[in-house]
């Protein structure tokens, strides 16, 4: 028994056309016009709907121990929210404790995800210090399908690596087919400003933002790119937040650097005025990098439209306002950094990107699904609609409307960073490897159906 999706408008990163899709088991087995159905096949009428490849969010932090607490979504609740919102695959960051083997951290992350995730998943490996034993483990980690690494140029004293360490990771990972990404903020600028504000008794959430100026991002982007050029390796910039950082990327592209950039919905739709809300409310949006002034937002959209930014992920890292964000009521440095949006990304990008004419529908598919799959070694199994590919599909109703609210979200957190945002266009049905996760708007996913994806080397080479 197969599934036939009939009369949908199939949208890929390149094409848009009317057609039918046949699924047998986990795989797309035919695409064409008027595909015949066997009597035992299930037929889904997709007339008037778009059929998109399942979304891929390459930046999540489920159950992350961080800043004295743990992010509020488990692999089950976080991936449930993601898939309900059209994202069928995610890539989470393994963040090892200093002095502990990478393999130990990977085992811990596998234990949290395996048998729990409802969407397919892979992992990136963070390198928080570079020692001889870490160096020796990198090739093994790559062989296990963890083909991308993150170095933090921020979080001084916690995760931050210095230039020598970044060079070593770039060279070592690159030699074995891995790709390196950076959290591009200058941790020393942040630490200098933070200490200054603390000494002056400026401790409200607003000073988190003030301690993370855009120049800190621009400097780290530039330095990361310089070191990547020195090491003759590509570089992926995670969660790019500012027009200043984007300018550095444009200059790098002009001189021929191999640079890839990711941004997140928060840097397209939310602005730093939120930090100045009274009664500690601004803590809800404390994240690193922080939100930027409103004049950055359209420039970031333009960066996507013009191809300087290749992917839109979430950096999903939620903390409850009550009991978690509140840890920093008297001192912004104790507010755990991050927000939830794994369930919102796909729909926000469609409504505010395609719906408001900022990006084309093909560009939408590219940044939410296809480019992430290509860059992170999952293409064409994921991120595409091709015969032989996984049947990860979103049947999307462009006329459906909704509104984001803590009352209806699937995230396991007590507020929404996007409360009240209107949506036009919503997933009606979501399939993961041929199995329904959402059917006619109702979540029907299954705990543990998500599968670990051992990723190949990046589709981007030096």
How many angstroms separate the CA atoms of 266 and 272, rounded? 10
Phi, psi of 243 (to 5 degrees): -65, -30
> Which tokens go with 249?
């990327």
Binding to ligand URP by CB under 6 A, coded x per residue (else -) over 309-328, reads: ------x-x-----------
Give contact residues for Zn ion (rule: CB under 5 A): 183, 315
Residue 82 binds ligand URP, judged by CB under 6 A: no
Q: How far is the CB of 377 from ligand URP (least distance, A)?
A: 21
> Which tokens go with 313?
């992920």
Residue 410 binds ligand URP, judged by CB under 6 A: no
Binding to ligand URP by CB under 6 A, coded x per residue (else -) over 285-304, reads: --xx----------------
Residue 61 binds ligand URP, judged by CB under 6 A: yes
Q: Between residue 186 and residue 245, which ones bind ligand URP under the rule CB under 6 A? A: none
Is-contact 186 244, C-beta < 8 A?
Answer: no
Is-contact 42 63, C-beta < 8 A?
Answer: no
Q: How far is the CB of 218 from ligand URP (least distance, A)?
A: 17
Q: Helices in 306-370 by DSSP H: which ranges? A: 345-349, 361-365
Q: Between residue 147 and residue 176, which ones bind ligand URP under the rule CB under 6 A? A: none
**Choosing among ligand URP, Zn ion, none, which partner's interface includes residue 287 (Cβ < 5 to 8 Å by kind)?**
ligand URP
Query: Contacts with ligand URP: how many residues (CB under 6 A)?
Result: 8
Helix (H) or strand (E) holding 10: strand 3-11
How many angstroms separate the CA atoms of 397 and 8, rounded? 10
Pick between residue 159 and residue 350 the one whose CB is nearest to ligand URP.
159
177 half-sphere exposure, CB direction, 13 A CA radius: 16
**Choosing among ligand URP, Zn ion, none, which partner's interface includes residue 325 (Cβ < 5 to 8 Å by kind)?**
none
Q: Between residue 335 and residue 364, which ones bind ligand URP under the rule CB under 6 A? A: 337-338
Is-contact 179 187, C-beta < 8 A?
Answer: no
**Choosing among Zn ion, ligand URP, none, which partner's interface includes residue 337 (Cβ < 5 to 8 Å by kind)?**
ligand URP
How many angstroms separate the CA atoms of 235 and 223, rounded? 11
Pick between residue 50 and residue 285 the one whose CB is nearest to ligand URP.
285
How many angstroms separate the CA atoms of 22 and 274, rounded? 47
Q: How far is the CB of 337 from ligand URP (least distance, A)?
A: 3
Which of 22, 80, 183, 296 touches ligand URP (CB under 6 A)? 183
Phi, psi of 399 (to 5 degrees): -95, -15
**Choosing among Zn ion, ligand URP, none, which partner's interface includes residue 210 (Cβ < 5 to 8 Å by kind)?**
none
Residue 375 binds ligand URP, judged by CB under 6 A: no
**Edge to edge, what strands does the sheet with 311-312 contain?**
55-60, 87-94, 120-126, 148-152, 179-183, 235-237, 259-263, 311-312
What is the separation of C-alpha 411 from the centre of its chain, rounded to a whole number of angstroms?
15
Question: Which positions touch ligand URP (CB under 6 A)?
Answer: 61, 183, 287-288, 315, 317, 337-338
């Amino acid at each position: 028994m197969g599934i036939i999706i009939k009369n949908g408008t199939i949208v890929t990163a390149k094409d848009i056309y009317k057609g039918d899709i046949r699924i047998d088991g986990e795989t797309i087995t035919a695409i064409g016009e008027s595909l015949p159905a066997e009597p035992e096949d299930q037929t889904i009428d997709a007339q008037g709907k778009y059929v998109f490849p399942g979304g891929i969010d390459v930046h999540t932090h489920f159950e992350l121990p961080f800043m004295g607490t743990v992010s509020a979504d488990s692999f089950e609740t976080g991936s449930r929210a993601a898939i309900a919102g059209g994202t069928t695959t995610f890539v989470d960051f393994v963040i090892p404790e200093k002095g502990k083997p990478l393999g130990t951290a990977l085992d811990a992350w596998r234990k949290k995800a395996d048998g729990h995730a409802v969407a397919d998943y892979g992992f990136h490996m963070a390198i928080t210090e570079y020692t001889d034993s870490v160096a020796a483990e990198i090739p093994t980690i790559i062989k296990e399908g963890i083909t991308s690494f993150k170095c933090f140029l921020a979080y001084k004293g916690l995760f931050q690596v210095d230039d020598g360490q970044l060079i070593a990771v770039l060279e070592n990972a690159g030699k074995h087919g891995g790709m390196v990404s950076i959290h591009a903020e200058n941790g020393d600028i942040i630490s200098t400003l933070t200490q200054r504000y603390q000494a002056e008794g400026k401790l409200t959430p607003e000073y988190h933002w003030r301690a993370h100026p855009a120049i800190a991002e621009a400097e780290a982007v530039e330095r990361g790119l310089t070191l990547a050029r020195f090491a003759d390796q590509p570089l992926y910039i995670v969660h790019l937040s500012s027009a200043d950082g984007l300018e550095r990327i444009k200059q790098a592209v002009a001189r021929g650097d191999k640079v890839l950039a990711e941004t997140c919905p928060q840097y397209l739709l939310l602005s730093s005025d939120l930090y100045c809300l009274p009664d500690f409310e601004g803590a809800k949006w404390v994240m690193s990098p922080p939100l930027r002034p409103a004049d950055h937002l359209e420039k970031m959209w333009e960066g996507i439209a013009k191809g300087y930014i290749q992917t839109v992920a979430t950096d999903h890292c939620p903390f409850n306002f009550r009991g978690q964000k509140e840890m920093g009521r008297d001192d912004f440095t104790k507010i755990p950094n991050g927000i939830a949006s794994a369930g919102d990304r796909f729909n926000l990008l469609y409504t505010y990107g395609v719906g408001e004419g900022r990006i084309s529908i093909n560009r939408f598919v590219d940044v939410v699904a296809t480019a992430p799959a290509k860059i992170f070694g999952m293409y064409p199994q994921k991120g595409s609609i091709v015969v032989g590919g996984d049947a990860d599909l979103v049947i999307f109703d462009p006329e459906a409307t909704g509104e984001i609210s803590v009352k209806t979200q699937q995230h396991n957190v007590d507020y929404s960073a996007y409360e009240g945002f209107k949506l036009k266009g919503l997933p009606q049905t979501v399939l993961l490897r041929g199995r329904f996760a959402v059917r006619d708007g109702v979540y029907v996913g299954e705990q543990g159906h998500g599968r670990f994806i051992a990723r190949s080397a990046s589709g981007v080479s030096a």
